[in-house]
Amino acid sequence: MFSEIIVNVHPSETRIAILEENRLVELFAEKKEKNILVGNIYKGIVRNVLPGMGAAFIDIGLSRTAFLHFKDINPNELSALKRKIFNKGNSSNINKILSQGDEIIVQVKKDPLGKKGARVTNNLSIPAKFLVYMPNVKKLAISRKITSSTEKNRIKTILEKIKDPSVGLIIRTDTESITEDDFIREYNGLAKTWKFIEKQIKHAKPPVCIYDDNDLSFSLVRDLFSSQVNRLVVDDKKLKNKIVSRLQQFTPEFMDRIELYQEDSPIFDAYGVEKEIESIFRSRVNLPSGGNITIQQTEALVAVDVNTGSYVGKDNYEETIEKTNAEAAYEIARQIRLRDLTGIMVADFIDMKSEKSQETVFSVLKQSLKRDRATNKVYPFSPLGLVEISRKRTRPSLLLTYTEQCPHCNGTGRLLSRDSVAVSISRWLRRAKYFLKKEPLKIIVHPNVKKFIEENPDIFKEIENKLEFITEEGIEFDKFKVFSIQTKKEYTDTYNT
């Protein structure tokens, strides 16, 4: 199966699309203002030690100090005397271990939330695709999901041969059947990363972030780019160079699969991704033969209904139903990955009398979900003809990423968020720039969107056209209109995707 990753970089957000056989199956969005800190390593300063709470507050350079509990201190980093105190397990003795003004290396466990600062730990780890590198722990642990004793012994034999005795490793589930060369390559890459961190620990002046685990170039290489990906295309030279640099550390043999997109048209338009994204927020998805599925998300579960629609088949009614259901099974699996649907899902397929037909449809659904990186489970048809699917959350859903609560319906519905509307306008202008050149444009938007644009003018800093944003009574929150100031002609639909 031909698989590729398409990366679109914008000043306000970066989008990553995964395509299989030229069809969009996963979409990730990283917004500039929504920084994730979990996994980042900081060189901080102890600002306060509270024996009554068994905790210390660490300045790591954020607006609020981070919270370090006694149990999250790594005894291997302590002197012999302090380790003896720590091993007694009395958290009120934390003031005998840490003192105000001490420098300390910590890693974020939980992001800051509201008025609470980040939760941090002194036990460091560096995750990769197959291994988690623990520089200050000696243990070797294997994922419980690897149940084969033969495979466990194989992995242990390989890693005990290549790893430093002073280093600990956790073997992740995806490690199963990985070759010795893959282990060596990833372990060496992690060891190099740790050496870089050690230099930062020695020389960096606190408070400072010395390792960004959420750097896009790193997470792309670690989590998405594998031997199954035929190519990665990115439209930003700076990010492309960072990705290449990361690959040199981990998988240099994949470097020739990286391409820089330099065409005039926007990259997501060129690969047909933009049009597919529009369908993500629609409840109805059409099937190739004329049938359709309807997806409804509620707090309790996700309901998927399958309909024949305009498809009436030829002669055999059962064949018509089986074909529609099989198409629906494939599309349901794709939409689950694309929309990042999680929790409990119930698919209501069209009733089939034949058990063989049920087995065929169930097999299509199960096989299609095997490519999903998130943990999922598919349950056989129930007596009512329903199929239940459970799936673990791996990231914030696209619905929450791209929408915000509607002020007109008290949260019962959702609209594109103000920043997403502004970015959509920016993309429209980039798409039209070669046709409109520097023509002055008037753009009509909702008052709330206009206010956001006035507060964030950098979104349009690369646009050469003179722009005038105005509001109009009755315009929908997530819509906009574009007119020529000189000729009064409307261009809105002319340059839509």
Q: Between the CA of residue 344 and those of 129, 237, 326, 379, 387, what are the distances in Å?
A: 27, 41, 21, 11, 11
Look at the block and give the residue holding tokens 């020389």.
Answer: 203
Of 237, 213, 261, nearest to 5 by C-alpha is 261
* Number of residues that make up the chain: 497
Out of 121, 149, 171, a domain closes at 121
pLDDT of residue 221: 77
What pLDDT sits at residue 319? 84
The end-to-end CA distance of the chain, in Å, is 27
Phi-psi category of residue 21: left, alpha or beta, with phi > 0 → left and psi -120 to 50 → alpha: left
Identify the pLDDT of residue 275: 86
User: What's the CATH number where 30 sits?
Assistant: 3.30.420.60
Q: Would you say residue 100 lies in a domain? A: yes
pLDDT at 297: 82
pLDDT in tens, 413-470: 566 788 999 999 999 998 898 889 889 999 999 999 999 999 998 899 889 899 999 9
Whole-number Å distance between alpha carbons of 166 and 189: 17
Say how far apart CA 381 and CA 402 lie, in whole Å. Answer: 34
Q: Domain check: are 241 and 326 in the same one? A: no
Give the pLDDT of residue 293.
94
Read off the pLDDT of residues 83-142 as tens digits, 9 standing for 90 and up.
999 999 999 999 999 999 999 999 999 988 778 899 999 999 998 878 899 998 888 888
Q: For residue 97, what pLDDT is reported?
A: 95
At residue 271, does pLDDT exceed 90? Answer: yes
Dmax over CA atoms of the chain, in Å, equals 85
262 pLDDT more than 80: yes
Please indicate, yes or no, whether residues 48 and 30 belong to a single structural domain of this protein.
no
- Prior bond to 75 cis, omega within 30? no
**Mean pLDDT within 284-305:** 88
Q: Look at residues 121, 139, 164 and tell me which one is the last residue of a structural domain.
A: 121
Whether residues 261 and 296 fall in one domain? no
Contact yes or no for 80/20 (Cβ under 8 A):
no
Q: Evaluate if residue 218 carries a pLDDT over 80.
A: no
Range of the domain at 444: 406-484
Predicted pLDDT at 441: 95
Band of pLDDT at residue 402, cut at 50, 70 and 90: low
Q: Are 378 and 287 members of one domain?
A: yes
Query: Does residue 197 belong to any structural domain of this protein?
Result: no
Given 89, 121, 153, the domain boundary residue is 121
pLDDT of 332 higher than 70: yes
Taking the C-alpha atoms of residue 53 and residue 66, their distance in angstroms, rounded to an integer, is 14
Mapping DSSP to helix (H, G, I), strand (E, B) and coil, where does residue 173 land? helix
**Count of structural domains, the chain:** 4
Does the residue 73 lie in any domain? yes
Which pLDDT tens digit goes with each residue over 30-55? 776 656 788 899 999 999 999 999 99
* Predicted pLDDT of residue 300: 79
